[in-house]
Structure 1
C-alpha cells in the first residue's frame, strides 16, 4: 500500500489462479493514519480483476469457394470476464507466417473466413478477447483447402426414379474413394463417403429447382440412361468433378446444358461411351 493523506493505492501481487474476478481486501483502519497504530477498526473494499480468457478448442474448418467456414468451442475458463470477441488468424505455409482475419466483432463460436486462394491449404487458430485483452491462440485446425465446387442445377419434379421432391446423385458402385460435401441448395448439407449412402438421395421441403454444390473428391458418376437423368438441367462449374472410366456418365440427360467455362478432370478416363 502506498500513498499519503486520504489517498492510498493498494497493489495486488499474486500468481494464484484464483486472483481474478470479484476480490476483496481488508486494511486495519489505523494503517491509513499511523502504521504503528494498534486500532482493531478495519476498512474493507471490493474490486474486480479481469484475466484473459483461456484458449478456444476444437477448431475445425469446412472448405468453400475462396473461403472456409470455421467452428470452435469456447474456452473452459473465462477469466472472470465474458468473451467480447474472437480473433482469427490463418496460415497458408503451415504456420511460418500468419494473417489476422479482419471480421466484425462477434461472440459467436463460428465464422466464415473469406478472401482465400483456391487450391491452397490453410490452418486456422482462434483466440478469445475479453476485458483483460486477447487470450492465447488455440491449437491449429487441420489443413483445409478451399476449392471451386462442382455446381449443377436440378428440377426435382421432372421424371426420375426418386420422388418429385427428391434428387438422387448417380454415384457408381465400383468406386470406393468418394469423399465430398454436398450443399443441396436449401441450407442443408451432407458428407458423402460411399456410393450407396442414404444421404445420396436428398428430400426437399417443396418441389422446385435447386442449385447443388459439391466440394471434395468425386471420382465417378454415371446416369447410364437411368435414375434422375432428366432432373439435371445445368452444369455451371466442373470444379473437382472427375469423369471416371465407367462410360454413360451423362447418358440420357436430355435436359442438361453445360455452361461451365472450366475444364473437367479427365484423368484416367478412357471410356466415354453412351
Structure 2
C-alpha cells in the first residue's frame, strides 16, 4: 500500500517556522549557544585594560565573534563596547580609558544561529597617573630678597593624592631651570627667599603624587625690589691747609638697583664718639668734598653714606686728618709811650691764638709818615717778651709802630698801629 502524501501546505508552514526561529535566535540571547568562560580583566596602564577568556565548546558550534559589554557602575547598567569582534580571538584590549576608574566587563558568544547569554563578569581598575599641571601661578615681589608664589592645585590629581610640589626657578627667562627646595609641603603658596635685589626670576610649579611628578604649570615672573646702596669704600681725608680738609672716596660697588643721587657726609671732633651731619645730601655723584673753615691743629674724623631713591646706605669706614699749625693771630693792646726825647717804649699782649705752635718772637715795624710806608725795625726779637724799647730817635718826631707774632709756621698778621 502506498504511503500517504504530506500536503505541500504543511511543508511550507514547517519551513517558515524554522526560519522564524533562526531569526529570533540571531537577535536575542539564547541558551542554545554557550557563553565564554574564565573571563579576566587586567589593567595594563592608566588608559588600557586587557581582556581574555576561554572559547565555548559544543558539537557543531561555529563561533563568528564575540560581543563585549562594559559597565562603569559595577554592572547595574551596560553598554555595548563591541557588537561583534568578527574573529575567534579570545583577547581584547580596551583603550582610551580614564585613569583610576573601575570597569566591569562581560562577553557573549556570537554565532550564526544567535548570541549566547553573557559570561561571568570581570573587573579591573586603570592605574593612577601623575597629576595635571597646577594653574593660576602668580609671583609677587615681597621685598628686595623675597618673592611670594601662589597657585591653584591641579584640577586632576591623577587618581592619587597630591603629596607635594616641585618648584623651579629660572634667571634667564626660562631657558634653563633649577629646582628649589620646597619646604611648603602641599600648601599652594610658598616664598623664595635670600634673593639678590632688582633681579627678575621666573618660576614654574609641578604637582607630585604617588605615581610621580606632573607636567609644569605655565610660568610666572617677578623682580625683587631695589634697596639702599652698599657703603662707599676707600674714604681718605687729607689736610689741605690749616683750615681745610679734602675728602675722596669710591662709589659703592652695589647701588642697590637704583642710581646714586648723592652722598651724606658726617664729621666728628671726638674720634667718632659723636657725629654731626656736615652735608645731608651732596645732590650729585661727585666722590670728593672739601671741608673748609676748620680750626688749625685739630683732628677731624669723617664718614660717608651713599643715597639712592630707596634711601641712605650704611656709613663707610672712617677716615681722619689733622689740620696743620697756622701763623699766630695778631698781638693785641699795642701801646707806644715816649720814654725820653730819643726813646719810645712799646708794650703789647701776646696773640690769643698761637696758631698751634709756640710763639718764638715778634716782628716790629716802624713808620715815620703816619703809616704810609713801613720799615722793619726788628725782623725777629727771638724771644717772647711783649715789650720793646726803640732808642736813638729824633726828638719831636712822631713814630708809628705795628707788631706781628712769629711761630714755626711763620709770621702772623699785623697788630693795630700805635704812635
Normalization by structure 2: what TM-score? 0.31
Structure exhibiting the larger radius of gyration computed from Cα positions: 2
TM-score by length of 1: 0.45
